[in-house]
Amino acid sequence: MSYLEQAKQYTGNDVEQIFFRPLLTGPSAEALGVRVLYNLPMPTVVQLWDGQRNALQKFTAAGWTGGDPAKKYQKKIDMHRVKAELGFSAADYFSLVYEQIAARADVNMEDLTGTLLEQAETELFRRVIAENIRATMWAGDTTAAAGYNTFDGFLKFFKEAVDKEAINYTSYTAAQMTEADFVVTLFDNLWQHADTRVCDAKAEGTLAFFVSSDLYYLYEKYLDARGGEGAYREQIDGRRELTYHGIPVIDVRMGSYLASTALHQSFCLLTDRRNLVLAVNTADTPGNEVRMWYNPDEMENRQRAVFSAGCEVLDETMLIYAYRE
């Protein structure tokens, strides 16, 4: 056998349960670093409640002292219908899928059932979609002629907000980045000028620095120079994750995607993770599907997924941003 010719189509609940839910929930969703909303009814609207402050009152007499009702704000996430399509030479595709199966310890290579092949094909396509959703979430620009232009990403929002002076931001230069300790100065500057509600999120464990890879590397170099046995061991073994004063420092890993765009190439963002929202819907639009089939005319294996996606910053005042000029 050197070709995979059996067609596979997921629609309705199968799209959700078999394909997208493992991609957008649990550890997979946490790896994105932001808040993920999956299959909320469209149009996707996030309800934001402003809790009543000073709710405790003296108990002196009967009657209602609750004051005004809690304020409710709504934020609508602009969802876009997108599709992902891939085509492989039949021989190459078989090799890719076969490699997925051969890497498993519980597989009898003399008896490859249809279920094993289906799982391997699904995992191969799922990885591609996951990475493209992540990339578009940051670098998406619907005005671009090519590239990641299916829905607008966070970096486009930040750039436009900076141009309009609509968010709390600062800037730095390439010359400032010649010293490793600059990155600590930058982190401290963002912390000191952030909204108090942003700082309060630290206690909830939801605050994070989202940084470009150059700043992440600069922070690693700063830690390497601290000296001591711990720093030496980390320099040799590497660091699984970085934090600054207990706040995670997340490398968004977008360098290869941003080079051909007009978006900021180097940046640092301090915000509550829940303030950055990615929404994906596979249920509310007719025609949403995942399909994998063999085209005998072209001797090509093809894959297609159709769904809706979009992202949004819920509260502009709950973030502080820095970028390289």
User: pLDDT tens digits for 13-55?
Assistant: 888 888 888 888 888 888 888 999 999 888 888 877 665 666 7
Question: H-type helices in the chain, by residue range?
Answer: 13-14, 21-24, 27-32, 90-102, 114-139, 154-163, 182-193, 196-200, 213-224, 228-237, 255-258
DSSP codes of every residue in 73-104? EEEEE--EEEEEEEEEEHHHHHHHHHHHHHT-
Confidence of residue 135 (pLDDT cuts 50, 70, 90): very high
Look at residue 57 in the predicted model and tell me its pLDDT.
74
State both tokens at 116.
Answer: 């094993």
State both tokens at 16.
Answer: 């959700």
pLDDT digit string, tens, across residues 253-302: 998 999 889 999 999 999 999 999 999 999 888 888 999 898 999 889 89
CA terminus-to-terminus distance, the chain: 56
Please give the residue that has the higher pLDDT: either 316 or 65.
316
Segment 117-126 shows an average pLDDT of: 81
Look at residue 310 in the predicted model and tell me its pLDDT.
96
* pLDDT over threshold 90, residue 311: yes
Contact assessment for residue 241 and residue 219, using Cβ atoms and an 8 Å cutoff: no
- Give residues with Cβ within 8 angstroms of 147, minimum separation 6: 139, 141, 260, 261
* pLDDT over threshold 80, residue 234: no
Please give the residue that has the higher pLDDT: either 45 or 239.
45
Segment 207-222 shows an average pLDDT of: 95
Least confident of 24-28, 221-225, 236-240: 236-240
Segment 159-182 shows an average pLDDT of: 95
Look at residue 122 in the predicted model and tell me its pLDDT.
82
Look at residue 163 in the predicted model and tell me its pLDDT.
95
Q: Give the H or E element holding residue 244.
A: strand 242-244
Confidence of residue 203 (pLDDT cuts 50, 70, 90): very high
* pLDDT over threshold 90, residue 235: no
* pLDDT over threshold 70, residue 188: yes
Residue 23: closest CA among 307, 312, 217: 307
Cα(241)–Cα(249) distance, rounded to whole angstroms?
7
Residue 21: closest CA among 141, 120, 130, 134: 130
Look at residue 151 in the predicted model and tell me its pLDDT.
96
Look at residue 115 in the predicted model and tell me its pLDDT.
66
Look at residue 183 in the predicted model and tell me its pLDDT.
97
Segment 200-222 shows an average pLDDT of: 94
Segment 135-151 shows an average pLDDT of: 94
* pLDDT over threshold 90, residue 165: yes
Question: H-type helices in 152-241, by residue range?
Answer: 154-163, 182-193, 196-200, 213-224, 228-237
Look at residue 230 in the predicted model and tell me its pLDDT.
62
